[in-house]
Amino acid sequence: MVKQLGLKNVEPQQVRAESLEDRKYHFIISRAVTQMEKFYPWIKNKFRKEDVHEEFQNGLFYLKGGDVDEELEALHLNYVSYHLEDYFTESFFETKKVVYLPYEGKR
């Protein structure tokens, strides 16, 4: 996918979040495998402080199904949900969202 999109400075890794190396990342992209209150502590200190993108500050993009609002509001974090049914017509995407959580360590 990196090659297809022509992305540069990308290092795809297939690792469990709780075993991420002691490195810092601009973005982390994941699919939902557990509740956000369990997942977020694993990655919250893994972001670089300096932003590199004009539209998005460093942060997490998380593929999630179902109703995410209640789960995310309990964490008191800023987030934006992108409903994938707005971009894809297949029924699989009707309940799927990409949730973006900007890194909040700079504030």
Domain boundaries, the chain: 17-102
- 36-55 pLDDT, tens digit each: 888 988 898 999 888 888 88
CA-to-CA dists, residue 37 to 19, 68, 70, 72, angstroms: 17, 12, 11, 8
CA-to-CA dists, residue 82 to 20, 96, 99, angstroms: 26, 9, 6
Statement: the pTM of the whole predicted model exceeds 0.75: yes
What is the token pair recorded at 57? 């500050």
**Confidence band of 99 (pLDDT split at 50, 70, 90):** very high
- Kindly tell me the burial class for residue 75, based on how many C-beta atoms sit within 10 Å of its own C-beta (0-12, 13-18, 19 or more): middle
For 67, phi then psi, to 5°, come to -85, 110
